Amino acid sequence: MVVAASTPPRRASTASTASAPAPGRPPRRRRPVLAVAALAALIAASLGGGAYGALTVDGPRKAGREIQEAELPEAGGTGGPVTNVATGDRVAPLRRVVPPDVLAVSSGAPIGQARISRLAKNKRVKDLIAVAGGAVQLQGRAVNTFAVDPSTFRSWTPPDTARKDALWTALAAGRFVVSADAAEQLRLSEGFPYAVVGRTMPQVTMGGSGNLGLPGIDMLVSAKVGEQLGLVKNVAVLVNAPGVAPATVTKAVGHALGSGASAVNLHERKYSSSAGGGGSGSYLDLYKNAATTCPGLSWTVLAAIGQVESDHNRNPGRSSAGALGPMQFMPATWKSYGVDGDRDGKADIMNPYDAIPGAAKYLCANGAGRGGRSLYNAIWHYNHADWYVQKVLNLAQAYAARYN
């Protein structure tokens, strides 16, 4: 937490008209399945990748020899919660943001609940969510789609998208939401109805667009609309496993879910770049952007503090000492160092867009940009304990090795 100090620090696009569906005979309405033989193929065929057509398969691949589950480090224990999205008419307020580390998609058949539960029990799996999905037709093009509960799934999207209440309210009301690339390439207009072709062909109104943060996935619908369209239940899984090398998580997820599913590491540059949307789309972006306000300060220090203080906003509530928010500021300290990072007119201690730049400002005021002993002292001012400084510095080194 940031320790309060009463004295100065010591020790140094939208189209104008709606486009009509392509003329001609509608495509045959078979049960939609996600276009995945390998997830790389799905991503290459996504709208964000510049192509319109999504691959389709007639059914699941033939099962080969069972692959034994690979263990993540320190496996065992109860693991994180398994969240299966369900229909909901209201949208719960955003409580936290969960950065997904791995996306796994079945070749067509649902992923078995036993496999999902086994993966969730791994101690290093912090959170896991299973969703329905499939390839549907929109404006005559195949679009890979997830059917989700807005209240639950919003936490798994980039922070700038997760905090858009209007977007998730529209999704809960039965409208569809698309990626920015899909909105532009398909010339979709918010508020206009479109025919979405799956097992049925309902008219669904566009509720908005944003950075979904998932390569190869260009549309979200509610669970109720997904059932109408015949999307496949439990066809995809998102996994969050902080503190574990992404490649290790990806391998373990693939082994745990079996040969019928393909998994990708969402931290790989080719996937993060295909997510589109611009701006600060993830916590990694927020840490990096905030570090630029303090020359000489590495973003890895901010990321390390964010992990220690709230596990990247998973536990932003009031501490026993009274600290609050993703960077755990004492309210008195926040009055002096709070930042309106997202320029909404207020410096919100609970908002990561404000709190992370605020932490950079506080560290910089205490000499963090000078490095060496000055950096040590600046972190010590954040929490007056040498063990805390050592933990932050060790984590910062681990982040540097992992991402740089």
Q: What is the mean pLDDT of residues 288-304?
A: 95
Put simply, whether the predicted model's pTM sits higher than 0.75 gets the answer no
Among residues 274, 307, 322, the one where a domain terminates is 274
One domain for residues 241 and 294: no
Tell me, yes or no, whether 25 lies in a domain.
no
One domain for residues 261 and 317: no
pLDDT tens digits for 54-104? 323 233 333 222 223 333 343 333 344 444 443 445 788 887 778 888 999
Tell me, yes or no, whether 51 lies in a domain.
yes
Tell me, yes or no, whether 28 lies in a domain.
no
Number of domains in the chain: 2
One domain for residues 207 and 319: no
Nearest CA-CA partner of 283 in 368, 355, 177, 333: 355
> What DSSP assignment string belongs to 98-161?
----EEEEESSSPPPHHHHHHHHTSTT--EEEEEEEEEEEETTEEEEEEEE-HHHHGGGS-HHH
Buried b or exposed e, range 86-120, using 16+ CB within 10 angstroms: eebeebeebebbbbbbbbbbbbbbbbeeebbeebb
pLDDT tens digits for 139-175? 999 999 999 999 999 999 988 888 899 999 999 999 9
One domain for residues 102 and 172: yes
What pLDDT is attached to residue 26?
36
Q: What is the mean pLDDT of residues 392-403?
A: 90
pLDDT tens digits for 105-125? 987 789 999 999 999 988 888
Whole-angstrom Cα distance, residue 237 to residue 36? 14
- Residue 294, domain CATH: 1.10.530.10
Residue 205 has pLDDT above 90, yes or no: yes
One domain for residues 105 and 177: yes
Among residues 274, 295, 318, the one where a domain terminates is 274
What pLDDT is attached to residue 89?
58
Tell me, yes or no, whether 324 lies in a domain.
yes
Among residues 232, 255, 274, the one where a domain terminates is 274
What pLDDT is attached to residue 371?
94
Supply φ then ψ for residue 263, to 5 degrees: -125, 145
Compute the mean pLDDT over every residue in the chain, rounded to the nearest whole number: 78
Residue 215 has pLDDT above 50, yes or no: yes
Supply φ then ψ for residue 221, to 5 degrees: -130, 165
What pLDDT is attached to residue 53?
27
Tell me, yes or no, whether 312 lies in a domain.
yes
Domain span at 148: 39-61+69-274
Residue 277 has pLDDT above 90, yes or no: no
